[in-house]
Each structure stands twice: as C-alpha cells, then as structure tokens.
Amino acid sequence: MSDRPLRILHFSTGDSAGGAAQAALRLHASFVDAGHDSRMIVRQKGSGRADVLEVPPYLDPWRARWRRLVHRRQETPPPAFNLDVTPDIRRDLFYSYGPGEVDVVVLHSITRLLTVREIHSIHAHYRAPLVWALADQAPLTGGCHYSYDCDGYTARCGWCPQLGSEREDDRSRAVLERRLELLSPLPIVFVAASSGVADWVRRSAAFGSHRVERIPAITDDRVFRPFDRRAARDLLDVPQEAFVVLLGAGNLVHPRKGVVEYAVPALARLTELAPDRDVFVLAVGARGEELELPYPSRAVGALSDPVAIALGYQAADVYLCPTIADAGPLMIPESLLCGTPVVAFDVGYAVDLVRDGETGYVVRSRDPDDLAAALHELLRHPEPDRLRAACRAAPAHHTPARVVEAHVRLYRSL
C-alpha cells in the first residue's frame, strides 16, 4: 500500500454497548481523525456517527420458528455462547463496496453479526487483507467467549463444559471444525491488546500458526488524566480523608468480574490488616448497590460519560480489579492514565502494565488474601505521589496517536 490515506472497513456487533464495542468505535473514530477513510458496519448502533452503518433486520417468522425448533433439540448454550448461527439481519450491506475499494477489513467482536461462512465470503469479495482485533476468545473457540480452565480450543473442543455437554461431537466441536475448515486457511492477522490475548491465539488449534501483533486498545489521554483529587471527591460525594478503593465493571456482580467472590472477601480481610484506617469504597457499574461491603460505600451505577468515569479514578487511591478472565479490561489503562494505581489478578492488561510497588500490584488469580495484602501495601505506602506519577507513564502507548500509528504500520505491511 502507498502512503495515501487508507480505506478501512470495520465490522463490529455494536459501537456503544460494552467495552468491546466502545474500543472498536474509538479505533474507527481515531482513524477518521487521522485522515483515513474509515467506515464501520454494526448490528446495534448507539452513536450518531454517519460513518457507522447499522445493518437492518431481516424479518422472517418461519426462519425464527425453525431456529427455535433446532435449538430445542441441541445443547442449551449460556446467553453469551456463540453458536455461529446466521442472524436475522440483511446481508447486502456487508458487500456495499466493490473489490479494490477497501484496503483492509478489520473484524472486532462480531458475535450475532458475522458467521464463519460470512467472514469467508467477505474475504473472497473484497480480496483485501483481513485483520481481527480480538476482544475475547470467541474467534478462537467452539463458541465460548472465555474458556476459563478449559483448554479444548487448543485441540478440537467437544465435551464442552459451558454447554453441559457429555459428547465429543457436540456443537462446540462443530463450530471449531468450521473455523478450521473455512478460516484457518485464510491469511488472517490477529491484533492482541495484551500478552495474554496473544498467548490465546498461539495456543489455539485454528490459528496457532497465524501472525499476531501486539497493539493495545485506545485510551484517550485527553479524558483520562490527573485531576484535582479534592474536587473529584467533592463532585462524587466521597470523603476527603478516606483511603478510597474503586470497584468498576459493567456489571459488578458478574462472576467473571470477580467482585463478589474475590474483592468483597479481600476488603473484609483488609479490615483485619488495617483496623484503624478510614477506608471508603466507590462502586462504578450496574448492581453495585447489591454488594455487601465491609466499609462505607457509594454505588453510583453504570456510567456512560467518559468524563464521569474518569472522575471515579481521579477520586480514588486505588482501582481494585479482581477479574478472572479478560482481554483488558480497559479500566486498567484508564486508571493508570489518571494517575491511580491498580491492584489486580495476573490477567490481561495487568500483566503488561502494572509493576509491583511502582504502579500497583499484580497478584495470583483467585486469591483474595493476596488482593488484601496488596491493598494493605498501597494503604501504607510512604510515597503515594511517586506512585501516581509512575502510573501516568505506564500506558503511554495506549494513546490514540500511538495506537493508530501502530495499526497503520501493520496494515501497510500486509
């Protein structure tokens, strides 16, 4: 490719709801800001952008009835399981441009938008390099978005624990076999936001030999930056003199986020380690009011405004991230750019960005006692201002300009 602006076509299930959709939109918008011709096709549009195109539904009651009958005869998947079923949407928008009119096709999280066969057809139509920016494990597995302790995706799946299956030739095996047949031969290049995601690709049966590039998701340093802590606490009605622990997730009681199972016990343990310290918990995310916390707290609900989210980090002394499976989360670099240390399990961005005693602490996954010990270390750290200064520098390569530069360099090499 020459040095002219690139023509980029993105596919994403959404552009607003959830971290994966927001990351996809940030990348697309940053390409546009940098002067490239970037367009995005989604199933669920929440933004008002004219360059984001929403796929209309395809209403066929007979097909919907047939699908319900087929599903009734198969293993019942959990809600987030991707069975690679053709969605009830019109497909013509996928092929709006001709061969030669797109320089690169970028896939994001595409569950309920594109099937394996559709991806194969899109590649055949555009004859352009195909890049997949991974938001979870779904593109690598027989349907699960996170495999947890199961390594079936490194072989051929089957006996899927998330399907409750007791058969080798179950639906997870069928989905992965389809990936092996139709997608594995394609020259797909994967973009991994963290080292853990890159490891998922290298271990996968379908794509273990494919090229993987480490490029983080965008974090806007114009929004996520240090701010007067007293002012932030005033705005959020948080005690000025307390040691403030931030808990944050889209859904604070989701098992994968680990708040109920690990963060709450860790905070209970902290009451024993530091019985005389004034600690306050700020909960950002849905269902925070359901948490049974051992300290005074405030649940502010789910926030969609990035400036409001940034205030949470700016008001806190630490962001506590007990997620047990994640490609990120984005909250780790956001917190660090605001100058707020992170305590997290050894998952996702934490492994790449958090340095013990410098920008927070990384501890063994699923160990609430280790979380409590790390919080205690931060609580009594003699130089908290030095920690905050170091945090700001850690995710410098997550800024829009740096991320776009890395993507453009990759695309031009294909």
Identify whether residues 409 and 363 lie together within a single domain: no
Determine whether 99 is exposed, middle or buried from the number of CB atoms within 10 Å of its CB (0-12, 13-18, 19+). exposed
Convert the pLDDT of each residue in 303-337 to its tens digit: 989 999 999 999 999 999 999 999 999 999 999 99
Residue 223, in any domain of the structure: no
Convert the pLDDT of each residue in 259-305 to its tens digit: 999 999 999 999 999 999 999 999 999 999 999 999 999 999 999 89
| Structural domain that includes position 237 | 229-395
The whole-number pLDDT of residue 66 equals: 58
Q: What is the mean pLDDT of residues 233-242?
A: 97
pLDDT at 397 over 60: yes
Identify whether residues 149 and 57 lie together within a single domain: yes
Residue 366, in any domain of the structure: yes
Q: What is the CATH number of the domain that holds 308?
A: 3.40.50.2000
Identify whether residues 365 and 335 lie together within a single domain: yes
Identify whether residues 52 and 131 lie together within a single domain: yes
The whole-number pLDDT of residue 253 equals: 97
Identify whether residues 120 and 181 lie together within a single domain: yes
- Read off the pLDDT band of 71 (50, 70, 90): low
Neighbouring CB atoms inside 10 A of 82's CB total 22
Residue 13, in any domain of the structure: yes
Residue 75, in any domain of the structure: yes
Convert the pLDDT of each residue in 153-171 to its tens digit: 999 999 999 999 999 999 9
The whole-number pLDDT of residue 61 equals: 62
The total number of structural domains that make up the chain: 2
Task: Enumerate residues 6+ apart whose C-beta is below 8 A from 286.
Answer: 250, 251, 252, 301, 302
Identify whether residues 369 and 344 lie together within a single domain: yes
pLDDT at 74 over 60: no
Kindly report the pTM of this predicted structure.
0.92
Strand order in 188-192's β-sheet? 52-54, 37-44, 7-14, 104-107, 130-133, 188-192, 212-214
